[in-house]
Amino acid sequence: MDSLSDDSPRKVLERVSGALGCSPTSLDVATHLDKHDPLRHLRKQFLIPKVGDLPPSDLSLVDGAEDCIYFVGNSLGLQPRSARKYIDEELDKWAKTGIHGHVEGARPWAWAENNIEELMANVVGAKVEEVALMNGLTVNLHLLLLSFYKPTPSRHKILIEDKAFPSDHYAVESQIQLRGFDPQQSMLLMKCRAGEDTLRTEDILELIRREGDSIAVVMFSGVQYYTGQLFNMAAITAAGHGKGCFVGFDCAHAVGNAELKLHDWGVDFACWCSYKYLNSGAGGLAGAFVHEKHAHTVKPALLGWWGHNLKTRFSMNNEMDLVPGVGGFRISNQPILLVCPLQASLEIFSQTSMPALRQKSRLLTAYLESLIQHYYARDEAQPHLPSVRIITPPAPEERGCQLSLCFSVPIRAVFQELERRGVACDMREPNVLRIAPVPLYNSFSDVHRFVSLLGSALTASAGLPRGAQPSP
């Protein structure tokens, strides 16, 4: 695959099927791509649930002993094998040594999270001093907005995409209210053009140019959770700065999925959770970024002892020696049991690189896209057959691994039939499925099997005779 890296994913797929002398839809293409996948060994470092263990599986339809098709790493990443070992080590240390665990062992609890900040910084393209691991995502968004959102009568707006993730919407709304402003006036929601599903970069930049003088903070997601659109963070940051705004990103769906260069882009602040593409387990330790240019000027609004210089943190003299930058935003000591699984996952990331993951990801997602279009694009000659429209942008640089599929039929029955067949994915009613083939642990064969099972699921849910819906 390496030698083909300069080609578009489409060209690679054509070339492989050409060389194999088979149809691009043949399982042989998937098998070949898996065999030549330089990252295929990483899958073995995760626990892949078995079909038989997933509650909705129907074992009269599928073999319970097979690995499930896990395409929902955009919602909850899989468990790294070493997570349990690390957690066991800390439970043992606690059992045997009690309080001594704070300063002893492989992960002294009093600074355990500091040991993995460098691994985290590499994934988001930041310097280690620009990253903190703490709290949950929405909490971090609040803490950052408390420092970066300082509205004045002339500059009081926060620009955010319309239909942002609800937690972000509420956070922004409540921050505006907290400052005594009215969300109706101060919350600027960027909508798509009529008839379009995603935002155009040129429209985002134009809106910032037009309204920028009244915008205090531009707060977009990195990858939009619903459409899978990857925003041009570099361009948005530059446009915001051109108008004197702070620019921050919620990278929940971008971290571990897209290549981030938070430092180089000059992003002012960012936050993310770690249980999606970062595989740290539900409610895992979240991340925050503050650019080093703000290290001595933008201060945390709320203080706690964990923002104090570590060297003298425990001398307890009640004179704050604040860590510069995002380190000073830490309030409480960090939960060691959440540090363990995040360490396990970040160590897997450190065995590869985001460019290498992205290279596989572009191909994996393009493969899914090409099979979906081949089998399920609307066929004018057979309008009675259910069809699929992909709302995620087609350009690889405008998306991460996720494709959002919009069906011509209500989605619930299709989703249930997929679940009965051992597929884990995400449904958004009325008619969208979000499918995330994750390059760390998903394979090209997973994609092929999914597309085949989707054919069975569509046939079963529509009550069509067997084989009415073409599929591989």
Ligand X SMILES: *Cc1c(COP(=O)(O)O)cnc(C)c1O
**Binding region for ligand X (CB under 6 A):** 136-138, 165, 167-168, 221, 225, 250, 252-253, 273
Least distance from ligand X to the Cβ atom of residue 271, Å:
9
Report in angstroms how near the CB of residue 447 gets to ligand X at its nearest.
Answer: 23
Q: Is 63 labeled as ligand-binding?
A: no
Q: Which of 145, 211, 153, 155 is nearest to 178 (CA)?
A: 145
To the nearest whole angstrom, how small is the minimum distance from the Cβ of residue 286 to ligand X? 6
Q: Which is nearer to ligand X, 43 or 253 (CB)?
A: 253
Cβ closest to ligand X, residue 214 vs residue 237: 237
Residue 166 CB, nearest approach to ligand X (Å):
8
Per-residue 3-state assignment (H helix, E strand, C coil) for 367-422: HHHHHHHHHHCCCCCCCCCCCEEECCCCCHHHECCCEEEEECCCHHHHHHHHHHCC
Inter-residue contact 459 to 468 (CB < 8 Å): yes
Instruction: State how far the alpha carbon of 10 is from the alpha carbons of 53, 96, 369, 393, in Å.
Output: 36, 56, 10, 15
CB of 400 to ligand X, least distance (A): 12
Q: Please say which residue, 40 or 169, places its beta carbon nearer to ligand X.
A: 169
Q: Which is nearer to ligand X, 161 or 417 (CB)?
A: 161
114 is in an annotated binding site: no
Min separation Cβ 126 and ligand X, Å = 19
User: Known binder of ligand: residue 221?
Assistant: yes
Cβ atoms < 10 Å from Cβ of 378: 12
Q: Would you say 168 is a known binding-site residue?
A: yes
- Tell whether 314 is in a known binding site: no
Q: Which C-beta is closer to ligand X: that of 148 or that of 225?
A: 225
Flag whether 333 is marked binding: yes
253 assigned ligand-binding residue: yes
d(CA 52, CA 421): 10
Q: Give the Å distances, CA to CA, from 213 to 207, 223, 242, 243, 267.
A: 11, 26, 10, 6, 18
308 closest CA partner among 318, 294, 298, 295 = 318
Cβ neighbours around 305 below 10 Å, total: 14
Whose Cβ is closer to ligand X: residue 255's or residue 391's?
255
Q: Which residue numbers belong to the known binding site for pyridoxal 5'-phosphate? A: 137-138, 165-168, 221, 250, 253, 275, 305, 333
